[in-house]
Structures are given as structure tokens and as C-alpha cells.
Amino acid sequence: MTALADDTRRSIFEIVQDGPRSVREITDLVSVSQPAVSQHLRILREAGLVEARAKGTRNIYSVSQRGLEPLREWVETVWEDVLDAFERAAEKKGRSE
């Protein structure tokens, strides 16, 4: 099962996308218990989608840049391809750089 296939887990991920949150803050925003939230966060962490850092006695969860690297690389490639094509068209039309 994928990390985002569960509706509650996806809601939790979207909450963390809004900004870094503690487990307690997340629990206040969803309709499941804190242990359940912690379980979902553990799965999101294992999937590389969120990361935690300690702040005093709490863990603050934020979106993991690292977990999204393969997707970022693909998005970069798409726009590289698109802009390469745009540049070629511009060269044909105008003065080449």
C-alpha cells in the first residue's frame, strides 16, 4: 500500500504541507487519536515524505525534500525538455544566441 493511499494519512500529509507541525497540532486537526496520528507519521516518514526534528520535548514534522527528489528530478527534466524545444523554435524565428 502506498504512503498516500489512506485518506487520513493523506490529510495528515496535506496538513504538514501547510507548515511544520507537532503531533499534537496535527491531532487537533484530524478526527483520529494521537497514537493513530503517530502511526501515520511513522509510515510517511518511512516513505520519505515527511521528516521530524526535535524541538524541546516535541517532534516537529515537515515535508521531506529528500523523499520528493525523484519527483523533483522528473519535473526538472520535463521543463528542461520544454524549454529546449522553445529555445530551438526561438532560434529558428530570430537571431540565434
Partner 1 sequence: MKLAETAIEPVRKTRRVGLTSEEAFELFTRRLETWWPLSDHSVAGNDAVGVVFEERVGGRVLEKTRSGEVHSWADVFEWDPPHRFLLSWHPSATPVAASILEVVFEPAGSDHTVVTLEHRGWEALGEEKARTLRDRYDSGWEGVLDRFQESVGSAL
**Binding-site ranges for partner 1 (CB under 8 A):** 1-5, 10, 13, 16-19, 47-49, 62-63, 65, 67-68, 70-72, 74-76, 78-83, 85-91, 93-97
Nearer to partner 1, 35 or 68 (CB): 68
Q: Name the minimum Å distance from CB 66 to partner 1.
A: 10
d(CA 60, CA 97): 48
Terminal Cα distance for the chain, rounded: 49
Q: Rounded to an integer, what distance in angstroms lies between the CA atom of residue 24 and that of residue 15?
A: 12
Identify any residues that bridge with 58 across adjacent strands, giving them in sequence order. Answer: 55
Q: Which of 62, 67, 70 is nearest to 41 (CA)?
A: 62
| Smallest separation (angstroms) from partner 1 to the CB of 40 | 15
**Nearer Cβ to partner 1 (53/72):** 72
Least separation in angstroms between CB 68 and partner 1: 5
